[in-house]
Every structure is written in C-alpha cells, then in structure tokens.
Structure 1
C-alpha cells in the first residue's frame, strides 16, 4: 500500500520541494532507476520547479526534465502535469492542491505544505482523504529544514 509523507511548515512550498528533490537524489541507490515524478498540474508551477532545479549550484544538480522530453525515459526526475500516461515510479511528489487520482500506483507520495494560509486547507483535505482510506501517514515538521 502507498505510504504518504506530509512535510509541513515550509516557508516556501517550491523551495522546500526542490530541497526535498535534492535529498531524494542524494539518497538514491540506483542511478538508472526512475526516482520521482513531480506532479505539477499548472504550467507555471512546472516551469518554476524546472528553473529552480537548474539554478542549483554545480555540485547539486538533480537530473530532471519535463514528461514530454525525449529524455524522459532515462531521466530520474520527471515533471509532469498528468500522471495518466506515465509508468508508476517509486515516488510521487504532489504539488497539486488535490489528491491525484493515480497516486496509488506509487510506492510513496510526498506532500509538502507551506505555512501560507491558502496552502493549509487543501493540505488538510488531502491528509483527511488519505487517513480515511487507511493509508500509512508520516508527518514531519520542516520549518527548520529537512533533517
């Protein structure tokens, strides 16, 4: 069954997502494996994530691309506005305010919640959705960063 991780208390949801992706990349065990699908249903959000991942320091690059890229099949981090056409991967980083209908195809779902008011209510609804369906939930406060 899919495990769900809520990381709450971020100052900025996107910056925290990029930090989490760097940590996931650093912890990888197989560099050829698909690592994460980033679900960003809004084009501006997908562009911001893509840009932020390119702006990291030279030693911190996370190989990534948009789902429509010819390199997507061999890239560990895929940014996509849809999950329907993608194979299931180990982890899904959900940057939508909704629970993606295909989330259960993933081993893990990561939800990042900022301290911003508009982000909290949809996150509570997602948490409630997962809890009511019996998914294993883990919570971590990241207001001081990822440990």
Structure 2
C-alpha cells in the first residue's frame, strides 16, 4: 500500500517543493513524479531551473521525448495516470487527489498555509484516511519550512 506523507503549513509551497526534490534526488536517488495543475507545473518548471544555480535538478514534462522522460529523475505531470517511466515517488502540489497515486510506493502531499489550500488538503486527507492509508504528519507551522 502506498505510504503517504502530508507536509502541511509550508510557508512557501514552491520553494519547499524544490528543496524536497533536491534532497530526494541528490541524497536518496529517488525518481519523482510531480503532479499539479498546468499553472503550478509552469511555476515548478521555472523554479527548478532557477532554484539553485549550482545544484540543477534535472527534470522534464511527461509529454517530452520518451528517452528524456525515461532518464529524468523528476517528471512533471498533470495526472499520475499519464504514461510515466516509474512509480516510485509522487509529489502532489495540486488541490485534488492525484489520479494514479495508489500505484506509487510513496505519495508526498504538500499543503501551504493558504486557507483554500488547507481546506483542499483536509479533503484529500479524509479521502486517504477513509481508504485506510496510514498518513505521516509533517507540520511546518511556526517553522521556516
């Protein structure tokens, strides 16, 4: 069963996601699919190019060239149901329950301190909990993220 980590009250969702991806890829050698709506995917794509110039995080869109997608440690997708090269880690930056999350070994759901994002996060939490998933809580209230 998919392991779920809920990272909530992150003060800077985009910056936090970049740091998490950097650590997952550099430290753990993880392969990650980032799921979000088109606007957030644009933002994370740009952020990954500019986040830390000396520590580029290789990434691509899931609809890129198949050989590039197969080799990229970070793949950006609007849905986990898209054709993807692996099912290791999914990071959800979207508001809804990501399609196909249950096929991944691990799901990391990131929720900002924004009230609308928190409300959507509560709905996702209930969805996962109602289906019997064990959820690890990571509360960043009062921290720098």
TM-score by length of 2: 0.89
The aligned counterpart of 1:62 is 57
TM-score (norm 1): 0.88
1:11 is matched with 11
User: Are 2:88 and 1:79 aligned?
Assistant: no
1:17-64 CA distances to partner (integer Å, 9 max, x unpaired)? 1121111112224xxxx6000012x22211110000000223321111
**Among 102, 105, 110, the residue aligned to 1:104:** 102
Gaps of 5+ in 1: none
State whether residues 35 and 90 of structure 1, in contact with CA within 8 Å, keep that contact through their aligned partners in structure 2. Answer: yes
Residue 122 of structure 1 aligns to a residue in which SS? helix
Equivalent residue pairs, number: 141
Change (3 A) 1:43 1:54: same
Cα RMSD over matched residues? 1.5
